A and B are shown apart, each in its own frame.
Chain A
Amino acid sequence: MVDAKKIAIAGAAVALVTIVTIFASSYMSDFENTRSSTQDNSETYELKHAPVLGSKTATVTIMEIGDYQCHMCKLWFEKTRPLIIENYIDTGKVNLVFIDMPFLGSDSGPASEATYCADDQGKYWEYHSALFDYQQEIDDGWAGATRLQAIALNLDLDIEQFDKCMITDDHYSRVSFNMQTAKKDFGANSTPTFIIINTSGNAEKIVGAHPYSTFEKIINSML
């Protein structure tokens, strides 16, 4: 009887160690599996259709792969992004592109589509920022159809045009393309993931909501 208990305890302990190891290795393998594919494909990615924040001729481009329902993306948006804008984007050294990877919930895709409907009226980045400002819990309704419409109203968008764009799924294929690009070409399997590339073709991948210091070091080494 005692032997059976010992075996059960040993089994439970092994299970715990295995779970922790799987968690850690799953996280770490993210870097190893995708580094080479990133360097191969980042140079060929077509930026010309994506809204760009900052100068299109900047030396360095940051591609942010994100989901509007991702809490860590919001944290990066609030803490790191403003410092990058102030020190690098406003000075013309860096530009920023957002690549949608809406995987966290059913409201993620429509939220991404809404940003492109706003882009049709020239307010992509305003809508993008509003989504992160208003972000709440995953699929709790904050990014439902009526809330997306309310955000459009707040930004003084032509609501008829916005509604038509959303109903007819004008940008569904664009969001799907971005999702596939993020997963296949950049090997992203979490958000936020960042690809930083310069005009010489040097690329660096950053996984997670890193602090400003990480971006500062990498950008400075690429300028």
Chain B
Amino acid sequence: MNNPFEIVYSQPFYILISIVIFFLLFIPLITISEFLFFEPFLVFSIYPETILSFSLIIILSIFSSLAVSLNLYRVKLIKETRKIGSSIIGTVFGASAGACSCGPIAFSIITAFGTAGSIATSFLTIYEIPIRLTSIGILGLVIFITTKSLSRECKVKS
């Protein structure tokens, strides 16, 4: 069994970690991006124009959950923690992209930082899709490097 995914996810703990991280990102991101509303009652809404943004949130959440759980396994295996930092950077990068539309976070940023906040907010809004794609790229690279490294280390160990 040399496939790193099989090795890691044969243990229920890492499946649980992945699920928790997925929902920890997915629910806040779809709420901030106004796909999911909790008030005045629970409503989910998606339009053809917003399918791309929603798909990127799903991919970002899946990649983050994979990157973090694979790296946690790697940390446990060889006590090497460098790449987990990259996955967290990728996640924060991607999560911040969708947070600055017309919502309360943008309002707080603009109120607190004035013109600079306004420029930052409009940048994050205009480049929401490229920023999310970049962060997915970072996470994809982290997953690729981690799995290669895990399969090599597992071979050496066995």
Contact = CB atoms under 8 A, between A and B. Distances in A.
Interface of A: 2, 5-6, 8-9, 12-13, 15-17, 19-20, 23-24, 26-31, 67, 70-73, 75, 79, 103-106, 137-140, 189-192, 204-211, 213-214, 217-218
A73 B101 CA distance: 11
Please classify how large the interface on chain B is, using the bins under 10, 10 to 19, 20 to 34, 35 or more: 35 or more
B113 to A, nearest CB: 13
Nearest to B85: A12
B95 A206 contact: no
Contacts of A191: 102
B34 A72 contact: yes
B60 to A, nearest CB: 12
B37 interface: yes
Nearest to A207: B39
Contacts of B151: none
Nearest 6 CB-CB pairings of A with B: A70-B102, A138-B122, A211-B45, A5-B81, A24-B28, A190-B104
Interface string B16-49: 0000000011011001101001111101010101
B39 A104 contact: no
Contacts, number: 121
B79 interface: yes
Given A20-B24, A20-B25, A209 B34 contact: yes
Contact of A8 (B25, B28, B81, B125): B81
Given A8-B81, A104-B122, A16 B45 contact: no
B50 interface: yes
Contact of A190 (B40, B103, B126): B103
Contact of A16 (B75, B91, B118): B91
A211 B107 contact: no
B26 to A, nearest CB: 10
Contact of B85 (A8, A28, A73, A138): A8
A67 B102 CA distance: 8
Contact of A23 (B39, B41, B95): B95
Interface in B124-158: 125-126
Interface of B: 24-25, 27-28, 31-32, 34, 37-41, 43, 45, 47, 49-50, 75, 79, 81-82, 84-85, 88, 91-92, 95-96, 99, 101-108, 110-111, 118, 121-122, 125-126
A199 to B, nearest CB: 20
B88 to A, nearest CB: 5
B34 to A, nearest CB: 5
Contacts of B39: 31, 206-207
A138 B103 CA distance: 14
A56 to B, nearest CB: 26
B125 A71 contact: yes
Kindly name the residue among A20, A28, A79, A213 whose own CB sees the greatest number of chain B CB atoms within 10 A.
A20
B102 A27 contact: no
B115 to A, nearest CB: 8
A9 B102 contact: no
Contacts of A206: 39-40
A138 B50 contact: no
A103 to B, nearest CB: 6
A73 B75 CA distance: 46
Given A138-B126, A190-B106, A210-B45, A23 B32 contact: yes
Given A103-B110, A208-B37, A211-B43, A190 B102 contact: yes
Contact of B108 (A26, A72, A207): A26
Contacts of A204: 40
